[in-house]
Amino acid sequence: MKKTTTRLADGRALIYYDAGDDLVRGEEDTRPLDATSTSSEIRRDPLLDEWVVIASHRQGRTYHPPADQCPLCPSGDGRRTEIPADDYEVVVFENRFPSLTGSPDHEEHVIAEPFDRRAGVGRCEVVCFTSDHDASFADLTAEQARLVLDAWTDRTAELSRLPGVQQVFCFENRGKEIGVTLGHPHGQIYAYPFTSPRTERMTTRVAAHREGTGRNLFDDVLAAERKDGARMVIEAEHWTAFVPHAARWPYEVHLYPNTRVPDLLALDEAARAEFPHVYLELLRRFDRLFAGAGGPTPYISAWHQAPLRPDADREDFALHLELFTVRRAAERLKFLAGSESGMNVFINDVPPEAAAARLREVASR
């Protein structure tokens, strides 16, 4: 993999990732861009002890442009985009409308009980999986998907070293139903200045399980799912995919490496080599679930990595990916209504065992 780092016209970083070593990336961004202006801050909810990001500047971000004005396509034919090159394999750049930004050198921390707020210090990046506007991640070859995995890993390493960052989150949102505002196949990476509420709850449960049993909770869950078998989707040499026992979403799959590691950096070469084949198969099955429903299956794909704060027991955390769709039937979506949004109590219409059986039915032949 060859990595080439450059700068956009407003100073944001852009990184090309190429499979070969012979490509030379010298294109410049000639757009007359003003420096980005952001107003992000984080506020702690005193009742839930959770941080909320307030980012009013994002109201002006690009919203469903036509394909010929897509800012994630390569530049060409007299039109300049976020990517100066006329072609690319994988590109990562700083988001023009970031939820989190800035430097801890300029961080303001104000506590006025019961309220607590800080500058929204962190980083948000965009990951373009391919230059093909009409493709999707599922259309990639195994070699292209491996390059994306390598880019995720490299960015996790780089962002983990930024001052104040406590967690790195790589994810993809696909589909208007999810809220995606750009149709080009892409994902994002957030470098949080705190540990996310979901991860905090996981680490608390893992610590309690270790204290009570002497065992690792992630290992026990994976072993129990493999032994039960009813919710298994894919059992590969280095990865296991299953619908969780208490799935919240109609079709939800968790993908674990069979050897527990805390983050993407810790994956060995065997797991890295197998991942593209397993993950692409999962995405293609998701698309087959509702073939003919008027478009590809909308989904969220989210990597869970160990937090970075000094007191975190990183070795007890298990890297895993959660993939789920808001579609519950061909013409029906799962909305987060009163119970889910108001009380965080999910109600799932599709039994996890039935979802797993359906995902096995649509396997590649």
Q: Which residues are catalytic?
A: 186
Q: Give the number of C-alpha atoms closer than 13 A to the C-alpha of residue 16, restricted to the C-beta side.
A: 26
- The residue type found at 7 is R
Under a CB-based contact definition with an 8 Å cutoff, are residues 350 and 328 in contact?
Answer: yes
Instruction: Write out the two tokens for 184.
Output: 């080009």
Query: What is the rounded distance in angstroms from the CA atom of residue 357 to the CA atom of residue 232?
Result: 8
Query: Under a CB-based contact definition with an 8 Å cutoff, are residues 110 and 117 in contact?
Result: yes
User: Six-digit token pair at 202?
Assistant: 């996981």
Tell me how far apart the 2 most distant CA atoms of the chain are, in Å: 64
The Cα–Cα gap between 266 and 245 comes to 27
Rounded distance, CA 365 to CA 359, Å?
A: 13
Q: Which residue has the tokens 């990865």?
A: 239
Pairwise CA distance, residues 185 & 316, whole Å: 33
Q: Where are the alpha helices (DSSP H) in 57-196?
A: 142-160
Mapping DSSP to helix (H, G, I), strand (E, B) and coil, where does residue 188 land?
A: strand
